[in-house]
Amino acid sequence: MGYEFDAQIAVAEEHPGRYSADLAGGWVVGGGVNGGYQLAVLGNAIATALPEKPDPIAISAYFLSPGAPGPAHVDVDVRRDGRNFATVAADLVQGDQARITTLAPYGDLRRLGGVGRTTASVIDLPPLEGGLSGSFGPPELRPPLLDRFDMRFHPDQVGWAMGNPSGEGVLSAWFRLADGREPDPLELLLVVDALPPTTFALGAMGWAPTLELTAHVRARPAPGWLKVRHLTRNLAGGMFEEDCEVWDSAGRLVAQSRQLALFPK
């Protein structure tokens, strides 16, 4: 049986180095197509170009223009192909407009091995049934994006949804895709940009466009629910950073990311 997410990130090779895709309408939020979803589409094209090294190890994405639902293509340029890693430059393009430009080393996480040791602490969340569903509010006011996920937020951190922001730059949630697909490295590229911006928790409810997002995939996630946390500490020059961690059901830190975004006006 096929999952919605796999169909929506599908790519077809036009010729070596160019892959066509179709950005699905269900991922629109804040006037554009979600950046994490675009990154998963682009990441899937790179994986297709590199069958021996199918996993993103790191990816840095710079957002050049907002994506729209509809046809797109991904240009993949392998800059270096070494023993364990291939480093590529890849762009997601619609018409003659680049939406995202990226640099990424890919490899095979099965071969590279799992988590060795960590001093990081697992994300503090109440049990699943104690989390607040991300689908609050009337359906006609919800961005279509929210129907793609099942999220259960830490109840202390979503006061902003009721007009009472916590004032602390942290948002955490249980996460899985609504279609029940189990997580894999590609899906993690979406997960690191799926939650609302931490600026909501700071009381700034406007759009917070991402300038740059770099994600590191540290291990293949185990099946089951993920725990995701976004943390912002520093506002400067009209921008804020957002650090994200993703932990899997086996209690391992499987992805780390940081983005730099514009503080809402």
Residue list 39-98, contact with its own copies (CB under 8 A): 57-58, 60, 62, 64-65, 79-80, 85, 87, 89, 98
53's tokens: 């090294």
Query: In this complex, which beta carbon is closest to its own copies, that of residue 24 or of residue 86?
Result: 86
91's tokens: 């762009």
The helix/strand/coil state of 159 is helix
DSSP 8-state secondary structure symbol assigned to residue 191: H
Residues 174-213 as x/- pattern, contact with its own copies by CB under 8 A: -------------------------------------xx-
The helix/strand/coil state of 97 is strand
* Neighbouring residues of 70: CB distance < 8 A, sequence distance ≥ 6: 22, 23, 94
* Neighbouring residues of 162: CB distance < 8 A, sequence distance ≥ 6: none
* Residue 231 vs residues 18, 40, 209, 244, 260: alpha-carbon distances, Å: 36, 22, 16, 6, 12
Q: Which stretch binds its own copies (CB under 8 A): 34-42, 113-121, 132-140, 146-154?
A: 113-121
Quickly tell me which residue has 């400067």 as its tokens. Answer: 236
Name the burial class of residue 188, with classes exposed (0-12), middle (13-18) and buried (19+) by CB atoms within 10 angstroms of its CB. Answer: buried
How near is the Cβ of 241 to its own copies at its closest, in Å?
6
Q: Which stretch binds its own copies (CB under 8 A): 5-13, 107-115, 122-130, 157-165?
A: 107-115
Virtual CA dihedral for 62, 92, 199, 168, nearest 10 degrees?
A: -80
Residue list 210-239, contact with its own copies (CB under 8 A): 211-212, 214, 216, 218-219, 233-239
How near is the Cβ of 160 to its own copies at its closest, in Å?
17
Residues 132-171 as x/- pattern, contact with its own copies by CB under 8 A: ------------------------------------xx--
According to the binding rule CB under 8 A, does residue 114 interact with its own copies?
A: yes
List beta partners, residue 215: 59, 257
How near is the Cβ of 9 to its own copies at its closest, in Å?
22
Query: In this complex, which beta carbon is closest to its own copies, that of residue 10 or of residue 235?
Result: 235
List beta partners, residue 32: 29
Residues found near its own copies in the complex (CB under 8 A): 57-58, 60, 62, 64-65, 79-80, 85, 87, 89, 98, 101-103, 105, 107, 109, 112-120, 168-169, 211-212, 214, 216, 218-219, 233-239, 241, 252-253, 256, 258, 260, 263
